[in-house]
Structure 1
Amino acid sequence: MSSRETKEQVSRVSISLPPGILHELDAMVAEKGYASRSQAIQNILHQELMASRKDSADELMAGVIILFYNNAATGLSQKLAELQYENLAEVISSLHVNLVRRQTLEVLLVQGKVRKLQEIADQFMTQSGVISGKLHLIASLIPPVHEKGRAPALDMTPC
Protein backbone atom coordinates (compact mmCIF):
# COMPACT_ATOMS: atom_id res chain seq x y z
CA MET A 1 0.00 0.00 0.00
CA SER A 2 1.43 3.38 -0.97
CA SER A 3 1.71 6.27 1.45
CA ARG A 4 -0.94 8.07 -0.57
CA GLU A 5 -3.42 5.23 0.05
CA THR A 6 -2.87 5.38 3.83
CA LYS A 7 -3.95 9.03 3.96
CA GLU A 8 -7.58 10.01 4.29
CA GLN A 9 -9.38 10.10 0.97
CA VAL A 10 -10.17 13.59 -0.25
CA SER A 11 -12.45 14.78 -3.01
CA ARG A 12 -11.55 17.53 -5.40
CA VAL A 13 -14.15 20.25 -5.90
CA SER A 14 -14.02 23.32 -8.06
CA ILE A 15 -15.36 26.75 -7.15
CA SER A 16 -15.60 29.96 -9.09
CA LEU A 17 -14.75 33.23 -7.36
CA PRO A 18 -14.94 36.84 -8.48
CA PRO A 19 -11.49 38.48 -8.75
CA GLY A 20 -11.98 40.61 -5.62
CA ILE A 21 -12.77 37.63 -3.39
CA LEU A 22 -9.93 35.59 -4.90
CA HIS A 23 -7.52 38.46 -4.19
CA GLU A 24 -8.75 38.66 -0.55
CA LEU A 25 -8.44 34.88 -0.20
CA ASP A 26 -4.85 34.94 -1.49
CA ALA A 27 -4.02 37.81 0.88
CA MET A 28 -5.48 35.88 3.83
CA VAL A 29 -3.56 32.72 2.84
CA ALA A 30 -0.32 34.70 2.83
CA GLU A 31 -1.10 36.69 6.00
CA LYS A 32 -2.14 33.70 8.11
CA GLY A 33 0.46 31.33 6.68
CA TYR A 34 -1.81 28.69 5.20
CA ALA A 35 0.01 26.16 3.02
CA SER A 36 -2.55 26.60 0.24
CA ARG A 37 -5.90 28.04 -0.76
CA SER A 38 -7.39 24.59 -0.18
CA GLN A 39 -6.24 24.56 3.43
CA ALA A 40 -7.73 28.02 4.03
CA ILE A 41 -11.04 27.08 2.42
CA GLN A 42 -11.17 23.82 4.43
CA ASN A 43 -10.69 25.83 7.64
CA ILE A 44 -13.40 28.33 6.71
CA LEU A 45 -15.84 25.56 5.75
CA HIS A 46 -15.12 23.62 8.93
CA GLN A 47 -15.89 26.70 11.05
CA GLU A 48 -19.17 27.29 9.23
CA LEU A 49 -20.18 23.62 9.44
CA MET A 50 -19.54 23.66 13.20
CA ALA A 51 -21.59 26.85 13.54
CA SER A 52 -24.50 25.18 11.77
CA ARG A 53 -24.26 22.12 14.06
CA LYS A 54 -24.67 24.42 17.08
CA ASP A 55 -28.27 24.82 15.95
CA SER A 56 -28.85 21.10 16.65
CA ALA A 57 -29.78 21.28 20.35
CA ASP A 58 -29.31 17.54 21.02
CA GLU A 59 -25.88 17.29 19.40
CA LEU A 60 -23.10 16.27 21.80
CA MET A 61 -20.14 18.61 21.56
CA ALA A 62 -17.11 19.79 23.50
CA GLY A 63 -16.02 23.38 23.80
CA VAL A 64 -15.06 26.31 25.97
CA ILE A 65 -16.88 29.11 27.71
CA ILE A 66 -14.69 32.20 27.82
CA LEU A 67 -15.49 34.78 30.50
CA PHE A 68 -14.01 38.19 31.17
CA TYR A 69 -15.15 39.70 34.43
CA ASN A 70 -14.53 42.13 37.27
CA ASN A 71 -13.47 39.98 40.21
CA ALA A 72 -14.26 42.83 42.63
CA ALA A 73 -17.99 42.43 41.91
CA THR A 74 -19.65 41.42 45.18
CA GLY A 75 -20.20 37.66 45.38
CA LEU A 76 -19.35 37.01 41.73
CA SER A 77 -16.47 34.57 42.33
CA GLN A 78 -18.64 32.54 44.70
CA LYS A 79 -21.59 32.51 42.27
CA LEU A 80 -19.36 31.38 39.38
CA ALA A 81 -17.96 28.56 41.55
CA GLU A 82 -21.50 27.52 42.53
CA LEU A 83 -22.57 27.43 38.87
CA GLN A 84 -19.62 25.17 38.09
CA TYR A 85 -20.68 22.76 40.86
CA GLU A 86 -24.31 22.85 39.74
CA ASN A 87 -23.15 21.80 36.27
CA LEU A 88 -20.46 19.34 37.33
CA ALA A 89 -21.40 16.80 34.63
CA GLU A 90 -20.78 19.33 31.85
CA VAL A 91 -18.02 21.58 33.26
CA ILE A 92 -14.89 19.45 32.94
CA SER A 93 -12.26 21.94 34.03
CA SER A 94 -11.60 25.64 34.45
CA LEU A 95 -8.66 27.99 34.35
CA HIS A 96 -8.70 31.57 35.51
CA VAL A 97 -6.05 34.21 35.14
CA ASN A 98 -6.02 37.38 37.21
CA LEU A 99 -5.44 40.44 35.05
CA VAL A 100 -4.73 44.05 35.95
CA ARG A 101 -7.40 46.32 37.48
CA ARG A 102 -9.21 43.46 39.28
CA GLN A 103 -10.19 41.78 36.03
CA THR A 104 -10.18 38.05 35.41
CA LEU A 105 -10.13 35.90 32.29
CA GLU A 106 -11.67 32.48 32.90
CA VAL A 107 -11.92 29.56 30.49
CA LEU A 108 -14.23 26.64 31.24
CA LEU A 109 -13.84 23.36 29.37
CA VAL A 110 -17.32 21.92 28.77
CA GLN A 111 -18.97 18.92 27.14
CA GLY A 112 -22.57 17.90 26.63
CA LYS A 113 -25.67 18.57 24.58
CA VAL A 114 -25.58 21.91 22.78
CA ARG A 115 -28.82 23.07 24.41
CA LYS A 116 -27.46 22.45 27.92
CA LEU A 117 -24.06 24.02 27.15
CA GLN A 118 -25.77 27.16 25.82
CA GLU A 119 -27.92 27.33 28.97
CA ILE A 120 -24.80 27.02 31.14
CA ALA A 121 -22.95 29.68 29.13
CA ASP A 122 -25.93 32.01 29.43
CA GLN A 123 -26.01 31.49 33.21
CA PHE A 124 -22.35 32.46 33.48
CA MET A 125 -22.44 35.36 31.02
CA THR A 126 -25.49 37.06 32.58
CA GLN A 127 -24.01 37.35 36.07
CA SER A 128 -23.56 40.89 37.35
CA GLY A 129 -19.88 41.77 36.97
CA VAL A 130 -19.28 39.64 33.87
CA ILE A 131 -18.05 42.04 31.19
CA SER A 132 -18.19 39.63 28.27
CA GLY A 133 -18.45 35.95 27.49
CA LYS A 134 -18.58 33.53 24.61
CA LEU A 135 -19.34 29.86 24.03
CA HIS A 136 -17.17 28.18 21.39
CA LEU A 137 -18.06 24.59 20.46
CA ILE A 138 -16.34 21.92 18.41
CA ALA A 139 -17.85 18.72 17.02
CA SER A 140 -15.78 16.38 19.09
CA LEU A 141 -15.94 14.74 22.48
CA ILE A 142 -13.53 14.43 25.38
CA PRO A 143 -12.73 10.81 26.29
CA PRO A 144 -14.60 9.70 29.42
CA VAL A 145 -12.82 10.52 32.66
CA HIS A 146 -14.45 7.64 34.55
CA GLU A 147 -15.29 4.21 33.24
CA LYS A 148 -19.02 3.53 33.16
CA GLY A 149 -20.18 1.66 36.24
CA ARG A 150 -16.92 2.15 38.13
CA ALA A 151 -17.01 4.02 41.44
CA PRO A 152 -14.72 7.05 41.77
CA ALA A 153 -11.42 6.30 43.48
CA LEU A 154 -11.89 9.21 45.93
CA ASP A 155 -14.56 9.59 48.57
CA MET A 156 -16.71 12.38 47.12
CA THR A 157 -19.10 12.73 50.09
CA PRO A 158 -19.25 16.21 51.62
CA CYS A 159 -17.37 16.79 54.86
Structure 2
Amino acid sequence: MHATESTNITSDLIAPARWARWAAHVAALVALPSGLWRIGLALGFPLGYTDQGLRELVGSTMWGPVYLIALSMLTEVAAMLTLGLVQRWGEVAPRWFPFVGGKPIPPRVVIVPAWLGVAVLTVLWTPFLFWWTLPHDGMTDLGHALVGFLYLPLVAWAPLLAAVTMSYQRRHRR
Protein backbone atom coordinates (compact mmCIF):
# COMPACT_ATOMS: atom_id res chain seq x y z
CA MET A 1 0.00 0.00 0.00
CA HIS A 2 1.36 3.38 -0.92
CA ALA A 3 1.45 6.33 1.46
CA THR A 4 -1.20 8.12 -0.59
CA GLU A 5 -3.55 5.14 -0.27
CA SER A 6 -3.06 5.13 3.50
CA THR A 7 -3.77 8.86 3.60
CA ASN A 8 -6.97 8.35 1.60
CA ILE A 9 -8.12 5.69 4.04
CA THR A 10 -7.75 7.97 7.03
CA SER A 11 -9.19 11.01 5.28
CA ASP A 12 -12.40 9.04 4.56
CA LEU A 13 -12.94 8.39 8.27
CA ILE A 14 -15.13 10.59 10.42
CA ALA A 15 -13.30 12.31 13.25
CA PRO A 16 -14.38 11.35 16.77
CA ALA A 17 -16.57 13.79 18.67
CA ARG A 18 -14.91 16.01 21.25
CA TRP A 19 -16.86 14.33 24.07
CA ALA A 20 -15.62 10.90 22.90
CA ARG A 21 -12.01 12.08 22.96
CA TRP A 22 -12.52 13.48 26.45
CA ALA A 23 -14.19 10.25 27.66
CA ALA A 24 -11.39 8.11 26.19
CA HIS A 25 -8.74 10.18 27.97
CA VAL A 26 -10.61 9.99 31.27
CA ALA A 27 -10.96 6.21 30.83
CA ALA A 28 -7.20 5.98 30.32
CA LEU A 29 -6.69 7.68 33.68
CA VAL A 30 -9.22 5.88 35.90
CA ALA A 31 -6.85 3.01 36.65
CA LEU A 32 -4.02 5.28 37.75
CA PRO A 33 -4.99 5.91 41.44
CA SER A 34 -5.44 2.23 42.30
CA GLY A 35 -2.35 1.27 40.28
CA LEU A 36 -0.14 3.76 42.11
CA TRP A 37 -1.55 2.50 45.41
CA ARG A 38 -0.71 -1.13 44.48
CA ILE A 39 2.82 -0.11 43.48
CA GLY A 40 3.21 1.60 46.86
CA LEU A 41 2.14 -1.65 48.55
CA ALA A 42 4.65 -3.58 46.43
CA LEU A 43 7.37 -1.22 47.62
CA GLY A 44 6.49 -2.07 51.22
CA PHE A 45 4.40 0.94 52.26
CA PRO A 46 1.39 -0.20 54.32
CA LEU A 47 -0.97 2.41 52.72
CA GLY A 48 -3.95 1.56 54.89
CA TYR A 49 -3.07 -2.00 55.79
CA THR A 50 -2.04 -3.16 59.21
CA ASP A 51 1.42 -4.75 59.33
CA GLN A 52 -0.18 -8.19 59.46
CA GLY A 53 -2.62 -7.31 56.67
CA LEU A 54 0.22 -6.13 54.43
CA ARG A 55 2.20 -9.32 55.06
CA GLU A 56 -0.86 -11.40 54.17
CA LEU A 57 -1.52 -9.39 51.00
CA VAL A 58 2.01 -9.16 49.64
CA GLY A 59 3.39 -12.41 51.04
CA SER A 60 6.94 -13.19 52.03
CA THR A 61 8.40 -13.86 48.58
CA MET A 62 9.23 -11.49 45.76
CA TRP A 63 6.22 -12.73 43.75
CA GLY A 64 3.69 -10.69 45.72
CA PRO A 65 5.30 -7.34 44.84
CA VAL A 66 5.99 -8.50 41.26
CA TYR A 67 2.32 -9.46 40.91
CA LEU A 68 1.10 -6.10 42.26
CA ILE A 69 3.36 -4.13 39.92
CA ALA A 70 2.50 -6.31 36.90
CA LEU A 71 -1.22 -6.01 37.68
CA SER A 72 -0.90 -2.22 37.92
CA MET A 73 0.94 -1.99 34.61
CA LEU A 74 -1.44 -4.38 32.83
CA THR A 75 -4.47 -2.49 34.13
CA GLU A 76 -3.10 0.85 32.95
CA VAL A 77 -2.19 -0.53 29.52
CA ALA A 78 -5.73 -1.90 29.20
CA ALA A 79 -7.16 1.47 30.21
CA MET A 80 -4.96 3.24 27.66
CA LEU A 81 -6.27 0.99 24.87
CA THR A 82 -9.47 3.04 25.08
CA LEU A 83 -7.51 5.80 23.35
CA GLY A 84 -7.35 3.63 20.22
CA LEU A 85 -11.07 4.22 19.78
CA VAL A 86 -10.46 7.93 19.17
CA GLN A 87 -6.98 7.96 17.63
CA ARG A 88 -5.58 6.95 14.26
CA TRP A 89 -3.89 3.79 15.60
CA GLY A 90 -7.35 2.37 16.31
CA GLU A 91 -8.22 2.66 12.62
CA VAL A 92 -4.93 2.08 10.81
CA ALA A 93 -2.30 -0.24 12.30
CA PRO A 94 0.92 1.60 13.21
CA ARG A 95 3.62 1.11 10.57
CA TRP A 96 5.95 -0.66 13.00
CA PHE A 97 3.47 -3.59 13.44
CA PRO A 98 4.81 -6.60 11.50
CA PHE A 99 2.75 -7.66 8.47
CA VAL A 100 -0.21 -5.30 9.12
CA GLY A 101 1.57 -1.97 9.63
CA GLY A 102 -0.13 0.84 7.71
CA LYS A 103 -3.18 -1.24 6.83
CA PRO A 104 -6.70 -0.35 7.93
CA ILE A 105 -8.03 -2.25 10.91
CA PRO A 106 -11.43 -3.81 10.27
CA PRO A 107 -13.86 -2.11 12.69
CA ARG A 108 -15.12 -5.46 13.98
CA VAL A 109 -11.59 -6.29 15.20
CA VAL A 110 -11.81 -3.22 17.43
CA ILE A 111 -15.51 -3.20 18.32
CA VAL A 112 -15.90 -6.82 19.50
CA PRO A 113 -13.01 -6.71 22.02
CA ALA A 114 -14.15 -3.28 23.19
CA TRP A 115 -17.67 -4.54 23.98
CA LEU A 116 -16.19 -7.62 25.67
CA GLY A 117 -14.06 -5.23 27.70
CA VAL A 118 -17.18 -3.32 28.74
CA ALA A 119 -18.75 -6.56 29.97
CA VAL A 120 -15.65 -7.67 31.88
CA LEU A 121 -15.12 -4.24 33.45
CA THR A 122 -18.75 -4.04 34.51
CA VAL A 123 -18.53 -7.38 36.30
CA LEU A 124 -15.10 -6.63 37.74
CA TRP A 125 -15.48 -3.09 39.06
CA THR A 126 -19.19 -2.44 39.73
CA PRO A 127 -19.01 -4.33 43.07
CA PHE A 128 -16.65 -1.63 44.32
CA LEU A 129 -19.72 0.58 44.71
CA PHE A 130 -20.36 -1.54 47.82
CA TRP A 131 -16.77 -1.43 49.14
CA TRP A 132 -17.68 0.51 52.26
CA THR A 133 -20.34 -2.00 53.32
CA LEU A 134 -17.89 -4.90 53.48
CA PRO A 135 -15.47 -5.59 56.35
CA HIS A 136 -11.76 -5.69 55.54
CA ASP A 137 -9.92 -7.21 58.47
CA GLY A 138 -6.35 -6.47 57.45
CA MET A 139 -6.97 -2.74 57.03
CA THR A 140 -7.23 0.29 59.25
CA ASP A 141 -10.48 2.28 59.16
CA LEU A 142 -8.73 5.15 57.37
CA GLY A 143 -7.09 2.72 54.95
CA HIS A 144 -10.44 1.11 54.21
CA ALA A 145 -11.92 4.50 53.31
CA LEU A 146 -8.83 5.50 51.29
CA VAL A 147 -8.82 2.34 49.21
CA GLY A 148 -12.51 2.78 48.49
CA PHE A 149 -11.85 6.22 47.05
CA LEU A 150 -8.80 5.05 45.08
CA TYR A 151 -10.76 2.21 43.47
CA LEU A 152 -14.00 4.13 42.95
CA PRO A 153 -12.86 5.70 39.62
CA LEU A 154 -12.63 2.17 38.18
CA VAL A 155 -16.42 1.93 38.42
CA ALA A 156 -16.59 4.64 35.71
CA TRP A 157 -14.32 2.70 33.33
CA ALA A 158 -17.02 0.43 31.85
CA PRO A 159 -19.54 3.22 31.11
CA LEU A 160 -16.79 5.42 29.65
CA LEU A 161 -15.55 2.57 27.46
CA ALA A 162 -19.14 1.80 26.40
CA ALA A 163 -19.73 5.41 25.35
CA VAL A 164 -16.47 5.62 23.41
CA THR A 165 -17.10 2.22 21.82
CA MET A 166 -20.57 3.32 20.74
CA SER A 167 -19.05 6.46 19.20
CA TYR A 168 -16.44 4.39 17.34
CA GLN A 169 -19.10 1.95 16.16
CA ARG A 170 -21.31 4.75 14.82
CA ARG A 171 -18.39 6.38 13.02
CA HIS A 172 -17.50 3.11 11.29
CA ARG A 173 -20.93 2.00 10.10
CA ARG A 174 -20.85 0.88 6.51
Asked if TM exceeds 0.5, the reply is no
- TM-score range relative to shorter protein: under 0.3
Higher helix proportion:
2
Bigger-Rg structure (1/2): 1
Between the two structures, name the one with larger relative contact order (CA 8 Å, sep ≥ 6): 2
Normalized against structure 1, the TM-score is what?
0.25
The structure with the greater share of residues assigned to strand is: 1
